[in-house]
Structure 1
Amino acid sequence: MASKNVSSTKKERTPSSVHELRLLVSKTEYKELIKLQDLGRILYNACLGESLRRLKLVKQDKFYKETIAIKKDTPENKKLRSDNFKFLNEKYGFKNSSIQSFAVKCKNESKFLDQLGVHVVQKIATTAFKAVQKVALGKAKKVRFKRKGELVSLEGKNNTTFLRYSNGYALIKDLTIKCKLRKNDKCFEHFLKHRIKYCRLVSRKFKNKYKFFLQVVYEGYPYQKVKLGDSHTSIDIGPSTIAKVNDKEATLKRFCEDIVFSHKEIAKLQRKASRKLRLANPQNYTEGGAVKKGAKNWIKTNEYLKLQNKISDKQRRLAYHRKQLHGEEINLIISQSWKVSAEKLSYKAFQKLWGKSIASFAPSQFVNRLKDKIKLLGGEFQEINTFKTKLSQTCVCGNIKKKSLKDRYHHCDCGISMQRDLFSAYLGLFVTKSNSLSTKKALKNYKNYEPILNKCIEDLKVLKKNNPQKIVSSFGI
C-alpha cells in the first residue's frame, strides 16, 4: 500500500470578542451553579498540587541541575537547554496535555467531579498548569490554592457541549437558564451576527450573594460606538492628572475626576473588622499585638463577615465606576484622534511614590485600554521614550533643564512660560518615529498652539473660583 503524506496544519487564529449576559436564576439553579463552581475549585486545587509535584520531580533530577549550569551564550547552548527541558518535562509529565489527562482521570474516578463536562475539566487543568509553569519559568514566585468559598469560572471549548448559549438561554449541564436581554442593545445585535466559539460561566459577589453571568466568546471584533477622529493627540498622564493637547483643544484635569472616593470609609471598616478579628482570636496574637507566626485557626464571627462583605462591595463599586470613567475618556480621545502619543512610564515606580493615587485612578489600565482600542479601529498609538526625549525638561528652543516635582511651570530664558504638564503634552506631538524630539517643528508650530494652551489655563482659573475642589495643587494654578 502506498503511504499518504498528511500535512498537519495549525488552525488559523481568528479575532475573538466577549459579550456578557446576566443569568436570571432561581433558588434551585443558584445552588446548582454554586455547587458546579465549587467542584471546579476542588479540581483546580488537585491539578495545581499535581503540577507542583511533577515540577519538583523535574528539579530533583540530576540532569536538570546539569542543564541549568549550561550558559545561554550561544545559539547551540540555548537549543541544547531547550531540548533538555523538553526531555525532562516529557519524562515526568510536566506538560499541559499530561495535566489534562490527570484531570480527566480524576473526573472519571470521582463520584462527584463527574458532574463537570470534559472540556471544562481540560480548561481548568490548563489554567492550573499555566500557573505552575510561570513559577518554573521564574515569572512568578508561588501559586495560590483556592480556599473554600472562592468560586472558579467554568469555560468550555465549543458551543455544543455542557456549557452553551442558544436563543436567549444558557444551557449549563441539564439546566436551562434564561438570560437578561436589554431592548435595543446594539452590542447584542452585533454579537448575534457572528459565530459563537465557546462560553464561560462567571460569578461575582454583590454584598453577600453571588450573581451569575454567561460570557459568550464569539468570532470577530466587538461593536464600536465611536469612530476615529482626524487629529493627532498627545497626552501626559500623572498619578492623578491627565493633560491632553491636539490642534483643536487642550485640557488639564483630574484623572477620573467624578470618581467617588470611599477610601476613608473603607479604611474605617477595615480597622473595625480587624478589631473584631482580634477580639475573637486573642490566642493568635502576641502581647505586642502582632500576629503569631505559623499555622493558626481563625474564628470569624458573623459581624466580621458582614464587614468583609461591605468592604468588598465598596471596592467593587469603586472599580466599576473607575472603569466606566476610563471608557468615557477613551471614547472622547478616540473620537478626536487618528493617532495618540503618550510617554512610556514605569507604573511600578509610580506605585512606590504615589501608591494611593495609582490604586484609585489606575493609569496603567487606562493606557492599555486606550492603546488596544485605537489599534483595533486602525489608528496609531505611539509610545514615547522618556529617557531619549526628556519632554518635562526640554524647551522648544532646545534648552534642557531639570525640574523638581514642585516646579509646576516651565520657564525658559527664551521667554516661553507654560504649565508643565500641558507643555510636555504639546512637545509629545513632535516626537518622531525614531523617538527623537523635533524641536524645530515644535518651535515653528508653537504660535499656533499657544492660544489653545492659554485658553486652557484661563478656563482653569475660572474653574478655581467657581469650583476649587476640582483643581489639584499639582496644576500650579
Structure 2
Amino acid sequence: MAKSKTPSFVTELPLKVDSKQEKELLARFQAARQLYNACLNEALLRMDLVKNFIAYQQAKKLRGGSKKERQDLFNKAREQHRFNDYALKTFATQTANRSKWISDKLGAHEKQTIGTRAFKAVDKILFGQVKKVRFKVTTRFKSVEGQSNTTGIRFVNNQVLWKKLAIQPILDLNNPVLVHGLNSPVKYCRILWRNLNGRKRWYVQLINEGLPYQKPTNYATQGIVGLDINISNVAFVADNKAGLLPFADKVPTFEREVKTLQRKMQRSQRMHNPDNFEYDFNAKVGNKIVRKKGKVKKGKKQWIKTINYRRIQARKAELERRKTSYAKSQNRRLVNEILRHGNQIKTERVSIKGWQKRYGKAMSAKSPGFFQSELKRKAEIANGYFLTFSTQTTALSQTHLDGTRLQKSLSERVHRDVTGIQPMHRDLFSAYLARCVYNNKLSLWDAQCEYPGTEPFLLDGWQQYQSANQVAERKSRDSYSPSEQMSNKGAAPNQISQKDYKLR
C-alpha cells in the first residue's frame, strides 16, 4: 500500500512504558532488526547482479543518447534481478514467515516497511549518493513504523496499539502544537526510542496529514531575503531589515567535561586492553625526556569495555546530545526570525562538507547545515522558495557595485567599495548582493539602483551587531573572579592574561 503524497507533519508523544511492555517492545525491535539485516544483505546481492548486468553497463556508456533509452536499460537490469521496492517487500514477508518468532512479533505492514527501508538504503549506493550501508546492531536500530493507521501500529482513542500491546502516551492538552496533531488525521505511526541521561525513553511519532501548527509569533511574510552564511553566523538583508545573527548563540560545548570523560575512557581502555596498544616510550621534547603513551595497534582487535567504561561513555553521549539539542533549538529560532522578514530566500551554494573537514568542532557546535535544511523546509511550507546559486559565477564577497572584483582575505571583514560609498560589513554587503542575483548572474543595475534606499538599515544592522559584541565582551570581563581582575590590572598595558587572550 503506497503512502499518499499529501502534505504531512510529525507529532511526537512520549510513552508510559512499564517493564513488561518494554521487554516486549525490545523483543519486537530485535525481530525487526534481524529482518532488516537479512533484507539489506539480499538487496546488496541483487545490486551487485544489477551492476554486472550487460544492460546496466550499456546504459552507463550512453552519455549523449536519449534519456528514455538509458532509463529503459536501467529498468531492464532492475527487473531482471528483481531489484525494486515491491520485490524487497515480498522477500521481507517471505523471510519473516519462515521464522515463526519474527512472524509472531511483527505484522504484515511492519515487514513490508522494513523491506522498503532496506531497499532505499541500498538504492542510494546505486545512485552514488552514499558509498556503503551498515548492518544494524542493537544500539543503532531505533525505530519501527507501519504503513497506515488501520492495522499494525495504530493510534486509536489516544493510545498506541500494536498487536496485543496497548501503550498510553503522555498528553499535555495545554500545548496547542500537540492538540493540533491529535485533531489531525493520522497517516501512519512510528515507534522509536532514545537514550536520555543513560535511560531508554520510548516515543510514538504520528505522521499527520495536513500542515503543521504555526505559532502566532512564528509567522512568515512575503518578500525577498538575501543571505550570506558562514560557520559562525548568518547575515540577512530583507526589504526593510538587515542583521547579523549568530548560529546557536552561546551553545554549551561542554568541552572541559568531555575531555575529562575522554581521558577516563582512555585510561580504562589501556588498563583492560594492554595488547591493543604499542609499548610506551621515551621521547625528547626540547631539553627534557618525557614518557609518551603507545599508539593503538593497526588491524581489528577485540576490545573489553567494562561496566565503568560504558557508564562514562553514556555520560559523554548525554553531553553531546544536550549540545546538539540546544544548537537545533537555537537554529530553529534563527530560521523563524528570518522568515518573519521574507519567504523567498537567496544564498550562495556553500560546501558544508568542506567546512566540516576544515572546522570540525565549530561545525558540530553551530550546525549551519541543519539551519539551511530547516530554512528550506519552512520557506517552502510558507509558499516561498530557497534558491542557491554558484559562488564561482557571482563571487559576491569580491564584487563591488561597479562590477570590479578584488580578492579579500578571510580576516578582512569590512568591505570598502571602489565607488566611494560608506564602508560596510563584508557579510552584510554580500547578503545584499544576493538579493540581486537572477539565473546565477548578479544584476549590477538592480544592485546600484536599490543600494541608496537599503544602505541606512544595512548600517543599522551592522551597528546592532557591534553593540551586541561589546555587551558580550563586557559580560565576559565581569565574569572574572576578583583575583583575576587584580592580576589583569597589575599587568603591563600591552600584556594580557592567558584567559583574557582566549576570550578575545
Q: What is the TM-score normalised by the length of structure 2?
A: 0.84
For 2:272, the aligned partner's letter is A
Between stretches 92-101 and 209-218, larger displacement belongs to 92-101
For 2:192, the aligned partner's letter is V
In structure 1, the residue matched to 2:174 is 184
1:111 matched to 2:116? The reply is no
Between stretches 433-442 and 20-29, larger displacement belongs to 433-442
- After TM superposition, the structure 1 = structure 2 runs for residues 212-361 of structure 1, keeping only pairs within 5 Å, are 212-225=202-215, 226-287=218-279, 289-361=294-366
In structure 2, the residue matched to 1:421 is 427
In structure 2, the residue matched to 1:101 is 90
For residues 277-319 of structure 1, what are the alpha-carbon distances to aligned partners after superposition, in whole Å with 9 as ceiling and x for unaligned?
2221122233373433444322110111011111111111111
For residues 329-359 of structure 1, what are the alpha-carbon distances to aligned partners after superposition, in whole Å with 9 as ceiling and x for unaligned?
1111112224332222121222233222222
CA RMSD after TM alignment: 2.6
Closer, same or farther: CA 25–280 of 1 in aligned 2, 3 Å: same
For residues 398-421 of structure 1, what are the alpha-carbon distances to aligned partners after superposition, in whole Å with 9 as ceiling and x for unaligned?
322111111111113322311111
| Cα distance in 2 between the residues matched to 1:96 and 1:263 | 44
Runs of at least 5 residues in structure 1 that lack an aligned partner in the other structure: 1-9, 472-476
In structure 2, the residue matched to 1:394 is 399
Quick check: 1:40–1:152 contact (8 Å CA) kept in 2? no
Between stretches 400-409 and 49-58, larger displacement belongs to 49-58
For residues 236-257 of structure 1, what are the alpha-carbon distances to aligned partners after superposition, in whole Å with 9 as ceiling and x for unaligned?
1111112122343322242221
Closer, same or farther: CA 122–452 of 1 in aligned 2, 3 Å: same
1:150 matched to 2:134? The reply is no
The 3-state SS of whatever aligns with 1:336 is coil
Quick check: 1:34–1:151 contact (8 Å CA) kept in 2? no
Match of 1:43 among 35, 48, 55: 35
1:378 matched to 2:383? The reply is yes
| Cα distance in 2 between the residues matched to 1:470 and 1:406 | 25
| Cα distance in 2 between the residues matched to 1:58 and 1:385 | 35
| Cα distance in 1 between the residues matched to 2:391 and 2:228 | 11
| Cα distance in 1 between the residues matched to 2:267 and 2:418 | 59
In structure 1, the residue matched to 2:436 is 430
Runs of at least 5 residues in structure 2 that lack an aligned partner in the other structure: 281-293, 477-503
Closer, same or farther: CA 469–59 of 1 in aligned 2, 3 Å: farther
Quick check: 1:20–1:213 contact (8 Å CA) kept in 2? yes
In structure 1, the residue matched to 2:492 is none
In structure 2, the residue matched to 1:6 is none
For residues 191-241 of structure 1, what are the alpha-carbon distances to aligned partners after superposition, in whole Å with 9 as ceiling and x for unaligned?
344322111111111132211111111221212223322543222111111
- After TM superposition, the structure 1 = structure 2 runs for residues 466-477 of structure 1, keeping only pairs within 5 Å, are 466-468=471-473
The 3-state SS of whatever aligns with 1:257 is coil
State the 1:464 CA deviation: 4.0
User: How many residue pairs end up in the alignment?
Assistant: 459
Quick check: 1:67–1:81 contact (8 Å CA) kept in 2? no
Quick check: 1:194–1:220 contact (8 Å CA) kept in 2? yes
Quick check: 2:398–2:405 contact (8 Å CA) kept in 1? yes
Closer, same or farther: CA 330–120 of 1 in aligned 2, 3 Å: same
1:72 matched to 2:62? The reply is yes
State the 1:88 CA deviation: 4.3
1:31 matched to 2:20? The reply is no
Quick check: 2:93–2:111 contact (8 Å CA) kept in 1? yes
Closer, same or farther: CA 233–278 of 1 in aligned 2, 3 Å: same
Quick check: 1:235–1:242 contact (8 Å CA) kept in 2? yes
| Cα distance in 2 between the residues matched to 1:122 and 1:294 | 38
| Cα distance in 2 between the residues matched to 1:130 and 1:241 | 35
For residues 97-147 of structure 1, what are the alpha-carbon distances to aligned partners after superposition, in whole Å with 9 as ceiling and x for unaligned?
232222222222213212111110111111112222223343322221112
| Cα distance in 1 between the residues matched to 2:15 and 2:127 | 39
State the 1:69 CA deviation: 8.3
Between stretches 333-342 and 201-210, larger displacement belongs to 333-342
| Cα distance in 1 between the residues matched to 2:403 and 2:68 | 48
| Cα distance in 1 between the residues matched to 2:246 and 2:32 | 43
Quick check: 1:38–1:150 contact (8 Å CA) kept in 2? no
For 1:202, the aligned partner's letter is L
Closer, same or farther: CA 284–80 of 1 in aligned 2, 3 Å: farther
Closer, same or farther: CA 402–102 of 1 in aligned 2, 3 Å: same
Closer, same or farther: CA 68–304 of 1 in aligned 2, 3 Å: farther
The 3-state SS of whatever aligns with 2:452 is helix
In structure 2, the residue matched to 1:3 is none
Quick check: 2:243–2:465 contact (8 Å CA) kept in 1? no
State the 1:87 CA deviation: 4.2
Closer, same or farther: CA 105–444 of 1 in aligned 2, 3 Å: closer
For 2:36, the aligned partner's letter is Y
In structure 1, the residue matched to 2:500 is none
| Cα distance in 1 between the residues matched to 2:11 and 2:3 | 23
Closer, same or farther: CA 470–39 of 1 in aligned 2, 3 Å: farther
Closer, same or farther: CA 429–284 of 1 in aligned 2, 3 Å: same
| Cα distance in 1 between the residues matched to 2:239 and 2:84 | 54
State the 1:429 CA deviation: 2.5
| Cα distance in 2 between the residues matched to 1:294 and 1:466 | 52
1:171 matched to 2:161? The reply is yes
Closer, same or farther: CA 101–251 of 1 in aligned 2, 3 Å: same
In structure 2, the residue matched to 1:207 is 197
State the 1:184 CA deviation: 2.4
State the 1:169 CA deviation: 0.6
Quick check: 1:273–1:304 contact (8 Å CA) kept in 2? yes
| Cα distance in 1 between the residues matched to 2:74 and 2:169 | 47
For 1:424, the aligned partner's letter is S
1:129 matched to 2:119? The reply is yes
For residues 443-477 of structure 1, what are the alpha-carbon distances to aligned partners after superposition, in whole Å with 9 as ceiling and x for unaligned?
33333332222233333444444321799xxxxx9
The 3-state SS of whatever aligns with 2:154 is strand
